[in-house]
């Protein structure tokens, strides 16, 4: 046994946070601690680490065991570089290495038995701890968590909040304590870093206590689940999916027991009322005592916790083309993020935008909304598009306003309408009068969603909407988005939400852009199968297009014919663009082959490379569209044959 928590209680003023929490952590366990925001998880973690004292109860850690704690607001030393801070995770090995070097210098001048013995012991420990690989290990972990080599000597003082979290995580991963506590470790991590952490946690040689609302992460890592609710902790054996099943079964059984007990109590109460002060008074008094004992030990039916009871409706449809990017480049002078992007979002398509941190996801969605300028090219919104934008970290709000004032003055609602809408997004009571700056991250997110509900857009542009939301709220949000009838562009690192709500993927990599006609789950399967076919690194083109298997869509003959016509027009348009680029490519090649002193050879060379990338993109798109139209024509032929046979 590594850690024991026994009957821990904690109150803040009149609020009971923990009421007799008891559980244990064994060695080499990976536990998920789950529960709604505000239920007391962080308080419990601080009690375990000794930062907060319990009102009563005990926490016992095995002798000699170490605890390391990754907080949501990570603390790092601002007087160090990124590399120096990460090296603190292996501080004892670097100290041993330094002492070994000191002894080696001393031994050059004088050799004593004491120095030789110390050197021998330190060298043995250093080798056992694989000390010779520590520099390589530090750099490898930093790179896997998104730091580039040219950032290793950057001062930690200038790091963003996300970079600070990733650096603190790198330090803890290198430290490898007996018990590692991770509080929302996937916040600010891109998908690649999240998958690296997922694999690392799954193979960790020690115990881990995870607090996370990332459902996919917990499904892949947890071996046992602790659920916190109403100040208590309940342990569920097995993985996270098993926990969901066991919890559901337990609640069904509890509801049945509560129902039977209520019926029994009602029956006894009727007997007591009927026969008290009659010839059967003694029996009535006996039943009354039995009824009172049953009431005292009565099982309460599971409480249905309130969740988001809201929707975002779409008022009026847009044109067929919702967003169109033509050779769009974004970024900064001398440092492009995305180059020559050709991308079309059509009516009711639901695009998931994913990619590495810093690759330009947020910059792209701001550019399509006109909030950022392009360095070249064009992005335009189609006709009839009304865009609703969800920004990260409530940057669109006046933080001195209250939620009620915001909904009344900015969204043009009456106070009564505003309060009713805010309540549907779980902002109610005195919270509607608090300054927005005092709201939690999750509450600010819910206010943003309430604003979108008023706007009734036909295009939703969402930038990391699940940040700060607990798991139940994420499930509710996925239903809201699934029910939305307009078009959607979702920037997110929440793999579960992407899997539930998207049907197209735009993967923005620093090496190029991948567009995929299919949902996130299908894209991941395609990407994994593609990686599996290649055992060696290969140079990627700046724009890659996936070629998914096109499923047969069961639609009516009329709709089938309309879809074939639509795809035919798209193919014609792509063929025109191919001809245009091929003509320009030929023109540039003629100029380069007969270049004069006045020719701008460098610019022409760059344009030639860009055109080749564009042609590769267009050819992949043309191939995918033809594959789709062939499948639909096969369906059309099949349906015609069936119709003939029926006749």
- The C-alpha atoms of residue 111 and residue 199 are separated, in whole angstroms, by 47
pLDDT, tens digit (0-9, with 9 covering 90-100), for 227-260:
998 899 999 999 999 999 998 888 888 888 888 8
Predicted pLDDT of residue 533: 56
Supply the pLDDT for residue 304: 61
Would the CATH topology of 3-76+159-238 be identical to that of 550-647? no
Q: Are strands 207-211 and 179-183 parallel, antiparallel or unpaired?
A: parallel
**Residues 278-332 pLDDT 10s:** 888 888 888 888 888 888 878 777 776 666 778 899 888 899 999 999 999 998 7
d(CA 519, CA 527): 12
Separation of alpha carbons 614 and 604, rounded Å: 15
Question: What's the rounded Cα separation, in Å, for the pair 172 and 185?
Answer: 11
List CB contacts of 478: < 8 A, sequence separation 6 or more: 496, 497, 500, 501
The tokens for 643 are 């119709």
DSSP per position, 503-555: SEEEEEETTEEEEESS-HHHHHHHHHHHHHH--S--PPPSEEE--PPPPPP--
Residue 625: CB atoms within 10 Å: 18
Selection from 563, 389, 362 nearest residue 488 by Cα: 389
Which pLDDT value is given to residue 179? Answer: 93
Overall size of the chain counted in residues? 647
CB atoms within 10 A of CB 570: 17
pLDDT-flagged residues of the chain (< 70): 72-74, 161, 304-307, 393-395, 531-556, 592-606, 609-610, 613, 616-617, 620, 638-647
What share of the chain in percent tops pLDDT 70?
Answer: 89
Cα separation of 353 and 62, whole Å? Answer: 45
Query: Which residues, at least 6 apart from 615, have a Cβ–Cβ distance to it below 8 Å?
Result: 578, 581, 582, 585
Distance CA 247, CA 34 (A): 12
Report the candidate in 385, 241, 271 with the shortest Cα–Cα distance to residue 319: 385
pLDDT at res. 307 = 65
In 3D space, the residue among 400, 442, 543, 461 whose CA is nearest the CA of residue 213 turns out to be 442
Whether 34 contacts 228, CB under 8 Å: yes
φ and ψ at 52, to 5 degrees? -125, 140
pLDDT of residue 108: 80
- Can you give the pTM of this predicted structure? 0.71
Q: Dihedral of the CA atoms 623, 625, 629, 632 (nearest 10)?
A: 120
Torsion-angle region of 233 (φ positive above 0: left; ψ -120 to 50: alpha; else: beta): beta
Rounded CA-CA distance 340/613 in Å is 9
Residue among 407, 443, 399 nearest 425 (CA): 443
Q: Which two tokens stand for residue 570?
A: 């798209």
Between β-strands 512-516 and 543-545, what pairing exists: parallel, antiparallel or unpaired? parallel
Q: How many CB atoms lie within 10 A of CB 68?
A: 19
Q: What is the DSSP string of 416-427?
A: HHHHHHHHHTT-
CATH 3.40.50.720 fits 321-549, yes or no: no
The pLDDT of residue 546: 47
C-alpha to C-alpha distance for 185 and 169, rounded to whole angstroms: 7
The answer to whether the beta carbons of residues 377 and 340 sit under 8 Å apart is yes
**Rounded (5°) CA angle 256-260-266:** 145
In whole angstroms, give the CA distance from residue 599 to residue 265.
Answer: 96
What is the C-alpha to C-alpha distance for residues 307 and 477, in angstroms, rounded to an integer? 10
What's 3-76+159-238's CATH class?
A: alpha beta
Paired sense of beta strands 321-332 and 232-237, if any: unpaired
Q: List phi, psi (to 5°) of 341.
A: -85, 125
CATH no. of 550-647: 1.10.287.1490
CA atoms of 327 and 378, how far apart (whole Å): 7
Question: Quick one: three-class SS letters along 463-519?
Answer: ECCCCCCCHHHHHHHHHHHHHCCCEEEEECCCHHHHHHHCCEEEEEECCEEEEECCC
pLDDT of residue 552: 42
User: The dihedral of CA 540, 544, 550, 553: what is its sign?
Assistant: positive
Instruction: Show me where the domains of the chain are located.
Output: 3-76+159-238, 244-296, 321-549, 550-647
> Does residue 77 contact residue 85 with C-beta atoms inside 8 Å?
yes
Phi and psi, residue 509, nearest 5°: -105, 155
């Amino acid at each position: 046994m590594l850690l024991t928590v026994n009957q821990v209680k904690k109150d803040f003023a009149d609020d009971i946070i923990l009421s007799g929490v008891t559980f244990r952590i064994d060695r080499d366990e990976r536990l998920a601690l789950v529960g709604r925001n505000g239920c007391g998880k962080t308080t419990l973690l601080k009690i375990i680490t000794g930062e907060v004292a319990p009102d009563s109860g005990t926490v016992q850690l095995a002798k000699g065991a170490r605890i390391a704690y990754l907080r949501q607001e990570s603390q790092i030393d601002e007087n160090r570089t990124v590399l120096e801070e990460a090296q603190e995770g292996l501080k004892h090995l670097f100290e041993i290495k330094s002492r070994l070097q000191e002894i080696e210098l001393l031994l050059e001048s004088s050799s004593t038995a004491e120095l030789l013995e110390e050197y021998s012991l330190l060298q043995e420990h250093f080798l056992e701890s694989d000390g010779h690989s520590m520099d390589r290990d530090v750099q490898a972990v930093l790179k896997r968590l998104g730091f580039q080599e040219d950032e290793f000597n950057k001062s930690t003082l200038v790091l963003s909040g996300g970079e600070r979290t990733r650096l603190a995580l790198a330090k803890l991963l290198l430290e490898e304590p007996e018990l590692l506590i991770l509080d929302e470790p996937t916040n600010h991590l891109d998908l690649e870093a999240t998958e690296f952490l997922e694999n690392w946690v799954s193979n960790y040689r020690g115990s881990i206590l995870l607090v996370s609302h990332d459902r996919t992460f917990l499904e892949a890592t947890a071996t046992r689940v602790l659920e916190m609710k109403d100040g208590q902790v309940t342990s569920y054996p097995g993985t996270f999916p098993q926990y969901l099943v066991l919890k559901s079964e337990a609640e069904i059984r509890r509801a049945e027991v509560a129902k039977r007990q209520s019926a029994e109590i009602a029956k006894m109460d009727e007997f007591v009322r009927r026969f008290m002060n009659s010839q059967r008074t003694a029996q009535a008094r006996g039943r009354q005592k039995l009824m009172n004992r049953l009431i005292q030990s009565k099982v309460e039916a599971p409480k249905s916790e309130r969740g988001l009871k809201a929707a975002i409706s779409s008022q009026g449809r847009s044109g067929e083309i919702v967003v169109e990017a033509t050779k769009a480049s974004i970024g900064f002078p001398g440092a492009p993020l995305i180059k020559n992007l050709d991308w079309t979002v059509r009516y009711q398509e639901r695009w998931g935008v994913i990619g590495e941190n810093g690759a330009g996801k947020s910059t792209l969605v701001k550019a399509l909304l006109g909030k950022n300028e392009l360095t070249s090219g064009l992005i335009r919104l189609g006709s009839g598009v009304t865009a609703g934008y969800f920004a990260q970290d409530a940057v669109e709000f006046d933080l001195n306003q209250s939620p009620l004032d915001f909904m009344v003055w900015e969204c043009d609602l009456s106070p009564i309408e505003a309060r009713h809408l805010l309540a549907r997004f779980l902002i109610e009571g005195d919270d509607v009068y608090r300054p927005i700056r005092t709201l939690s991250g999750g509450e600010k997110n819910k206010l943003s969603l309430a604003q979108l509900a008023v706007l009734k857009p036909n295009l939703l542009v969402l930038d990391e909407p699940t940040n700060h939301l607990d798991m139940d709220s994420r499930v509710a949000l996925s239903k809201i988005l699934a029910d939305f009838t307009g078009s959607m562009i979702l920037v997110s690192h929440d793999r579960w939400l992407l899997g539930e709500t998207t049907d197209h993927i735009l993967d923005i990599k620093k090496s190029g852009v991948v567009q995929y006609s299919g949902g996130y789950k299908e894209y991941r399967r395609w990407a994994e199968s593609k990686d599996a076919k290649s055992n060696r690194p290969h140079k990627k083109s700046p724009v890659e297009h996936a070629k998914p298997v096109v499923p047969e869509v069961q639609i009516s003959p009329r709709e089938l014919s309309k879809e074939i016509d639509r795809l035919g027009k798209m193919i014609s348009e792509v063929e025109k663009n191919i001809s245009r680029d091929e003509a320009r490519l030929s023109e540039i090649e003629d100029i380069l082959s007969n270049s004069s002193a006045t020719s701008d050879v460098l610019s022409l060379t760059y344009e030639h490379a860009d055109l080749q990338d564009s042609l590769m993109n267009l050819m992949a798109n043309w191939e995918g569209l033809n594959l789709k139209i062939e499948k639909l024509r096969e369906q059309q032929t099949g349906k015609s044959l069936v119709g003939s046979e029926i006749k």
